[in-house]
Amino acid sequence: EQCWEVEAYDDVCELLSSEDIRANYLPSFLGQLPTSVPATRYAYLADFFQRWPLFQDGKGQRRTHAVLARLFSAQRMGFLEKIVQEEIAAIVQPLRQREEWDAVADFAKPLPLRVISRALGFTAHDED
Protein backbone atom coordinates (compact mmCIF):
# COMPACT_ATOMS: atom_id res chain seq x y z
CA GLU A 1 0.00 0.00 0.00
CA GLN A 2 1.04 3.57 -0.58
CA CYS A 3 0.96 6.26 2.07
CA TRP A 4 1.95 9.86 2.52
CA GLU A 5 3.41 11.59 5.51
CA VAL A 6 2.17 15.14 5.87
CA GLU A 7 3.38 17.18 8.81
CA ALA A 8 2.90 20.87 8.05
CA TYR A 9 -0.25 22.20 9.71
CA ASP A 10 -1.47 24.10 6.63
CA ASP A 11 -0.90 21.05 4.41
CA VAL A 12 -2.84 18.80 6.81
CA CYS A 13 -5.75 21.28 6.90
CA GLU A 14 -5.79 21.50 3.12
CA LEU A 15 -5.81 17.72 2.73
CA LEU A 16 -8.53 17.20 5.33
CA SER A 17 -10.79 19.73 3.64
CA SER A 18 -10.13 18.44 0.12
CA GLU A 19 -13.01 16.80 -1.76
CA ASP A 20 -10.42 14.66 -3.59
CA ILE A 21 -9.09 12.80 -0.56
CA ARG A 22 -11.07 9.78 0.56
CA ALA A 23 -10.55 6.88 2.90
CA ASN A 24 -12.59 3.72 2.75
CA TYR A 25 -12.14 1.83 6.01
CA LEU A 26 -14.93 -0.65 5.43
CA PRO A 27 -13.08 -3.17 3.23
CA SER A 28 -10.22 -3.50 5.72
CA PHE A 29 -12.71 -3.85 8.57
CA LEU A 30 -14.75 -6.51 6.78
CA GLY A 31 -11.51 -8.20 5.71
CA GLN A 32 -10.85 -9.04 9.36
CA LEU A 33 -14.00 -11.14 9.62
CA PRO A 34 -13.58 -14.93 9.60
CA THR A 35 -13.06 -16.39 6.13
CA SER A 36 -14.79 -19.61 7.18
CA VAL A 37 -18.17 -17.89 6.77
CA PRO A 38 -19.32 -16.93 3.25
CA ALA A 39 -19.09 -13.22 2.46
CA THR A 40 -22.78 -13.19 1.56
CA ARG A 41 -23.53 -13.69 5.25
CA TYR A 42 -21.75 -10.39 5.96
CA ALA A 43 -23.56 -8.36 3.30
CA TYR A 44 -25.95 -6.93 5.87
CA LEU A 45 -22.97 -5.81 7.97
CA ALA A 46 -21.44 -3.96 5.05
CA ASP A 47 -24.69 -2.15 4.39
CA PHE A 48 -25.16 -1.39 8.08
CA PHE A 49 -21.61 -0.14 8.68
CA GLN A 50 -21.58 2.07 5.59
CA ARG A 51 -24.03 4.30 7.43
CA TRP A 52 -21.80 4.68 10.52
CA PRO A 53 -19.88 7.98 10.81
CA LEU A 54 -16.73 6.00 11.60
CA PHE A 55 -16.79 4.52 8.10
CA GLN A 56 -17.87 7.67 6.27
CA ASP A 57 -15.60 10.13 4.57
CA GLY A 58 -15.88 13.38 2.68
CA LYS A 59 -19.30 15.01 2.29
CA GLY A 60 -21.16 12.15 3.98
CA GLN A 61 -19.01 12.40 7.08
CA ARG A 62 -19.32 16.18 7.25
CA ARG A 63 -23.11 15.96 6.86
CA THR A 64 -23.34 13.35 9.62
CA HIS A 65 -20.97 15.32 11.85
CA ALA A 66 -23.07 18.47 11.46
CA VAL A 67 -26.18 16.62 12.65
CA LEU A 68 -24.42 14.78 15.48
CA ALA A 69 -22.62 17.90 16.69
CA ARG A 70 -25.98 19.53 17.38
CA LEU A 71 -27.24 16.42 19.15
CA PHE A 72 -24.20 16.24 21.43
CA SER A 73 -23.75 19.89 22.36
CA ALA A 74 -22.98 20.78 25.99
CA GLN A 75 -26.58 21.91 26.50
CA ARG A 76 -27.94 18.69 25.01
CA MET A 77 -25.61 16.60 27.18
CA GLY A 78 -27.03 18.32 30.26
CA PHE A 79 -30.51 17.38 29.07
CA LEU A 80 -29.41 13.76 28.46
CA GLU A 81 -27.79 13.57 31.90
CA LYS A 82 -31.15 14.40 33.45
CA ILE A 83 -32.86 11.74 31.32
CA VAL A 84 -30.27 9.12 32.29
CA GLN A 85 -30.71 9.91 35.97
CA GLU A 86 -34.51 9.73 35.69
CA GLU A 87 -34.43 6.43 33.81
CA ILE A 88 -31.97 4.89 36.27
CA ALA A 89 -34.28 5.88 39.13
CA ALA A 90 -37.31 4.46 37.28
CA ILE A 91 -35.53 1.14 36.66
CA VAL A 92 -34.01 0.81 40.14
CA GLN A 93 -37.14 1.68 42.12
CA PRO A 94 -38.99 -1.61 41.49
CA LEU A 95 -35.73 -3.57 41.74
CA ARG A 96 -35.24 -2.40 45.33
CA GLN A 97 -38.30 -4.36 46.37
CA ARG A 98 -37.00 -7.62 44.95
CA GLU A 99 -34.65 -9.94 46.78
CA GLU A 100 -32.77 -10.81 43.61
CA TRP A 101 -32.41 -9.25 40.19
CA ASP A 102 -30.15 -9.64 37.18
CA ALA A 103 -27.88 -6.62 36.66
CA VAL A 104 -27.75 -7.14 32.90
CA ALA A 105 -31.30 -8.25 32.11
CA ASP A 106 -33.06 -5.98 34.60
CA PHE A 107 -30.84 -2.90 34.47
CA ALA A 108 -28.11 -2.70 31.79
CA LYS A 109 -30.22 -4.05 28.95
CA PRO A 110 -33.28 -1.78 29.25
CA LEU A 111 -31.39 1.41 30.19
CA PRO A 112 -29.95 2.39 26.77
CA LEU A 113 -33.22 1.85 24.93
CA ARG A 114 -35.15 3.81 27.51
CA VAL A 115 -32.67 6.71 27.40
CA ILE A 116 -32.55 6.78 23.60
CA SER A 117 -36.35 6.62 23.40
CA ARG A 118 -36.73 9.51 25.83
CA ALA A 119 -34.06 11.54 24.01
CA LEU A 120 -36.03 11.04 20.80
CA GLY A 121 -39.18 12.34 22.47
CA PHE A 122 -41.02 9.14 23.36
CA THR A 123 -42.64 8.81 26.77
CA ALA A 124 -43.17 5.86 29.09
CA HIS A 125 -46.70 5.59 27.69
CA ASP A 126 -45.22 4.94 24.23
CA GLU A 127 -43.40 1.79 25.41
CA ASP A 128 -46.33 -0.48 24.67
pLDDT in tens, 54-112: 666 667 777 777 777 777 778 888 888 999 999 999 999 999 999 999 999 999 999 98
pLDDT in tens, 39-66: 787 787 777 777 776 666 667 777 777 7
Burial readout 24-54 (b: 16 or more C-beta within 10 A, e: otherwise): eebeeeeeeeeeeeeeeeeeeeeeebeeeee
Rg (C-alpha) for the chain, rounded Å, is 21
Round to whole Å and give the CA distance between 102 and 109. 10
3-state class (DSSP) for residue 71: helix
